[in-house]
Amino acid sequence: MEFDFSGIVPAIPGLWNGMLMTLKLMVLGVIGGLVIGTLLALMRLSSNKLLSNIAGAYVNYFRSIPLLLVITWFYLAVPFVLRWITGEDTPIGAFTSCIVAFMMFEAAYFCEIVRAGVQSIPKGQMGAAQALGMGYGQTMRLIILPQAFRKMTPLLLQQSIILFQDTSLVYTVGLVDFLNASRSSGDIIGRANEFLIFAGLVYFTISFAASLLVKRLQKRFAV
């Protein structure tokens, strides 16, 4: 079998659009997942048993099911739920459903990362802040969380790399990400193998470079 990669160059504009979709999914998924995950982490650390149990159940559930199921569920099942609630058809596009799925799914993992980061901060700092008259929310916002995020930045980036790779699952709902764009371009000109090899090299290069960055940050951000 002879490989011919000459068809990749003319297809770069389409592949670039697919990469932009992949990066957009990853960035929005990380931002939303981190916000929700931080709130869940604070709930899990709360002395309120109800809040702690709700957050714990959320984390255990989403960490026990595959991401592909979450994407499919939000794309297919949520419209039926909304129709049952509102009585009207409320279509959810592939992009929106994937963003929500990534946010909800990644929040469970970011929650545990944030919780571990907060718990790694000496408890004496919380007591010292309270002795200075600072409330719980103020202490978490100004003292505990900044230190925790500094320590857990490498883990957050590592989870972001995993999400970057997992965005390829959006092919199930017809969203054209980088992998789907590569496969489609290859099928059109009959060079699917070459395009998939190229896509694999791109994913490897970006993920490997990001992993090296994570290692550097682990040394730089060590507290």
Handedness of CA 200, 203, 206, 207 (dihedral sign): negative
Instruction: List pLDDT tens digits, range 165-201.
Output: 999 999 888 889 999 999 999 888 888 888 999 999 9
Q: Is the pLDDT confidence value at 58 over 90?
A: yes
- Domain contains 163: yes
What residues contact 51, with CB distance under 8 A and at least 6 apart?
A: 43
- Domain contains 116: yes
- Domain contains 2: no
Instruction: List pLDDT tens digits, range 82-137.
Output: 777 777 766 678 898 899 999 999 999 999 999 888 888 787 777 787 777 777 77
How many structural domains does the chain have? 1
pTM of the predicted structure, to 2 decimals: 0.87
- Domain contains 4: no
| Tokens found for residue 215 | 């290692």
* Dihedral, CA of residue 152, residue 103, residue 30 and residue 214, to nearest 10: 50
Domain extent, residue 56, equals 9-220
- Domain contains 66: yes
- Domain contains 91: yes
- Domain contains 1: no
Instruction: Using the CB atoms, write b or e for 121-152: b if 16+ within 10 Å.
Output: beeeebeebeeeebeeeebbeebbbebbbebb
For residue 89, give the CATH number of its domain. Answer: 1.10.3720.10
